[in-house]
Chains A and B, each alone.
Chain A
Amino acid sequence: MELVIQPDADSAARLVALLIAKALREKPHLVLGLATGRTMERVYAHLVRMHKEQGLDFSLCRTFNLDEYIGIPASHPGSYRFYMNRHLFSQINIDPRNTFLPDGMACDTQSACRHYEELIAEFGGIDLQLLGIGADGHIGFNESLSALRSRTREKALAPSTIAVNRTLFDNPAEMPSRAITMGVGTILDASNIILLVTGSTKAEIIAKAVEGPITSMVSATALQLHPRCRVVVDEHAATRLQAQEYYRWIFATEPEWAEYR
């Protein structure tokens, strides 16, 4: 795991967008794992800008999102499909047929989950998975005690998750209490992972996630097992990290980060 500290939330998001753009240039048919949430909106805004200004090409790229609510259609503004279309897909030259989210409206949720796993495998697995972190340390909707080897499945959301996410709904009563999410094991299968964390509210949990013991109580701690995981944080989120000095030194001296300094 490598951790990079950026001065502010926007430069952190910009760095993540640059890393995605580099991967896309190296492999135009990249299989990209995507996440939702407020932190990601900035990343997508940078990708949209790079598409418009530099012609960053998404036409061959395929995307898989981490999760989707159960019981609300794609047309619902609270759905993650709606979010993705609004913040990214409709503003870049991606083929909508190449964008995938779990089917939260499937009659048979279990087979929809299985199908999602099969689809990812069919495309050769995820090359680069983008992640955010929940207030209690979850990745995707892998709430506390999610098995570290879990696969895509239906999850009941924690009251704390519901409380945070319902503020994103115009009518909070419509916030679903269940979702389909990639499992921790599914996420760990990605070849590369980028975790983006910004803001002082995440300072405590990110310190736990990257420097604390591995536990299913905090599913993000499983990322410590991943051989190619990069964590990008801003100064506000970095305040509780113990080895800050080392992280800064790595970013300042390692050649792989030279082009981003």
Chain B
Amino acid sequence: MPTRLQIPGFVDLQVNGFAGVDFSSGTLTEAAFRHAGHALLARGTAAFLPTLITGPEPLLRRNLGVFCAALRHDPTLARHIPGFHLEGPFISGAAGAVGAHDPSAVRPPDLACFERLAGWAEGRLRLLTLAAELPGAAELCRHACRRGVVVACGHQLAGSADLARLAEAGAAALTHLGNGMPNRVHRHDNPLLAGLAETRLKILFIPDGHHLPRHVLELFARAAGPHRLIATSDASPAAGLPPGIYHVLGNRVVLEPDGRLHNPRRRCLVGSSATLLACMNVLHGLGLFAPEDLLRIGFYNPLALLGLAPETVPHGPYRLSLDPAAGFTLS
């Protein structure tokens, strides 16, 4: 018998776009952003951080402006968006670590640049992803923390010493652990193992069924556990669209019928086509987590990372239920 849950929906810390709208596109409009936001809210995501990936400063400025204008004009959407996530530009430009981001727009940690970005976000910057091994990363991290921005380490070649230094400097999480890293790395001192071992950092991960194979999800469940895990969709503009060929995040991508979204030329995944609800159902299907643990991974932990109380998240236009067989459903 399904349990009708009293939580308002899931909390997604990383949403790059949705329903054909690319948040990092130079042609993003306020209307498109609002369309994507409301489409996402109807699909089981009660709160999310619109996420901008690495891009040239003028583009980041432009799109942060579009975000802010949309939230000013759409108070309903604003209640569901506690802030923004900047995934870059202070990340590694190395192949593999840079992922689907534009390597030419990557830059070293720069306090002045961060200040400009935070200013353009009008105080709504909540999460910053940076690469821990970069010179100045710890200093930028301390600075961001003082400004009330949560720092996550990702798109990096960081080893255990780098992550320890960043954790010391106040970093709180790892961005999509097990993705945004090269296929070939040092056998021990690599971002994945060092990340798992640095228990001061919460683990953002993408359980969409494509970004991480089942055995890695099982490993995360056992090695990190439900108190440290935070599911994110890493939803891309192609999420919510039918299979086909699309142009997203500066990549020509193929959305396969099974939901895998990739750039065949660069051989990398380009965000996911899943909502967080779909991700939570992948986790539910693993059978590794108790219902209350799933609610932590998809709701309570991401809120706690941002320092938000559950009461601050408004209900979406649906009721969420958990059925032992069918998983999470909306009605």
Contacts and interface: CB of A to CB of B under 8 A. Distances in A.
Interface of A: 23, 25-30, 55, 57, 60, 122-124, 127, 259
B300 A28 contact: yes
A90 B63 CA distance: 51
Interface in B1-15: 1, 3-7
Given A55-B290, A57-B292, A60-B300, A26 B6 contact: yes
Contacts of A60: 300, 310
Given A60-B300, A127-B6, A25 B311 contact: no
Contacts, number: 31
Interface residues of B, number: 15
A127 B7 CA distance: 12
Contacts of A122: 311
A26 B295 CA distance: 10
Contacts of B6: 23, 26-27, 30, 127
Task: Tell me the interface secondary structure of chain A in the complex.
Answer: loop
Contacts of B291: 25
A28 B290 CA distance: 12
Given A28-B292, A28-B295, A29-B300, A123 B4 contact: no
B300 A27 contact: no
B325 to A, nearest CB: 17
A29 B295 CA distance: 10
Contact of B3 (A25, A29, A124): A25
Contacts of A124: 311
Interface string B279-315: 0000000000011100110001000000001110000
13 contacts: A25-B3, A25-B292, A26-B3, A26-B6, A27-B5, A28-B7, A28-B296, A29-B7, A29-B300, A57-B292, A60-B310, A124-B311, A259-B1
Nearest to A31: B311
Query: 10 closest pairs, A vs B, by CB?
Result: A27-B6, A124-B311, A29-B310, A26-B6, A57-B292, A28-B292, A26-B5, A28-B295, A26-B3, A25-B3
A257 B6 CA distance: 19
Contacts of A55: 290
Contacts of A25: 3, 291-292
Nearest to A24: B292
Nearest to A123: B311
A60 B226 CA distance: 14
A127 B296 CA distance: 20
A122 B309 CA distance: 10
Contacts of A30: 6
B44 to A, nearest CB: 16
A210 to B, nearest CB: 27
Nearest to B7: A27
A60 B304 CA distance: 11
A52 to B, nearest CB: 15
Contacts of A23: 6
A188 B154 CA distance: 49
Nearest to A23: B6
A257 to B, nearest CB: 14
Contacts of A27: 5-7
Contacts of B295: 28
Interface in B177-230: none
A159 to B, nearest CB: 41
A65 B7 CA distance: 23
Nearest to A124: B311
Contacts of B296: 28
Nearest to B295: A28
A259 B2 CA distance: 13
A55 B290 CA distance: 10
